[in-house]
Amino acid sequence: MSESKRVAVVTGSNRGLGKAIARGIAKTGAHVVVTARTEEAAARAADELCAQGLSASSHQLDVADPASVARAMADVGYQYGRLDILVNNAGIAIDRGQAAASADIEKVRSTLDTNILGTWRCCTAAIPEMRKNGYGRIVNVTSHMGTFGEMGTGSVSYRVSKVGINALTCILAAELKNDGILVNAASPGKVDTRMAYGKATQTPDEASETFVWLATLPSDGPTGGLFFQRKSLDW
């Protein structure tokens, strides 16, 4: 692999939107590290990309496991000498319809640990690797359900986790703007994945376009943690 080739890590990229994002980034010429909670699942997805003539490899990564996160980011940095792009796609939605006043706190804890803390863990593990080369692109997958304009009842822990991701994105963007690291977030809208509950309006490949764009922004590209609304977004 060329030393100048960008290296990307996409969390939860063995299926659905994450897999489409990984494929889209690889098509730009970058090497993509496909991750999943099991090495077998990650390897299967990476093999599919390689069979399409794309540059990909796999690594086990469970965003809810601090040791797994630290190991994955360190291994990527060591093996390739760089880590340029991180797309935080991994997430769960396990409390559809649940009200805040009667929330299952264990589901809340699990959702926050995976969605917001998982994203945060991956960022803090990847940023030192990005700083080594003075370049980085971090893209966080958020949701229209985490915007105050769309705030309502149901799926309370999922909503709160996405609000947290939005805030984290803005804070990191402000902290890292002078380090060559651009941090942004976007909502994919209603995508045909297991989390759509049959209400999808677009395919994963269609929804991935915005995330590939944000993951490959030029140095003078948008920053500031803005939540971009392009044609594939549903706000």
Catalytic residue numbers, as ranges: 158
| Rounded-to-integer distance, Cα 100 and Cα 48, Å | 41
Kindly report the backbone phi and psi dihedral angles of residue 107, in degrees, each rounded to the nearest multiple of 5, phi listed first: -70, -35
In sequence order, what are the beta bridge partners of 182? Answer: 137
Order across the sheet with 7-10: list the strands.
Answer: 56-60, 31-36, 7-10, 85-88, 136-141, 181-186, 227-228
Exposed/middle/buried for 52, CB within 10 Å: 0-12, 13-18, 19+? exposed
Task: Tell me which DSSP letter residue 196 carries.
Answer: G
Sequence letter at residue 212: V
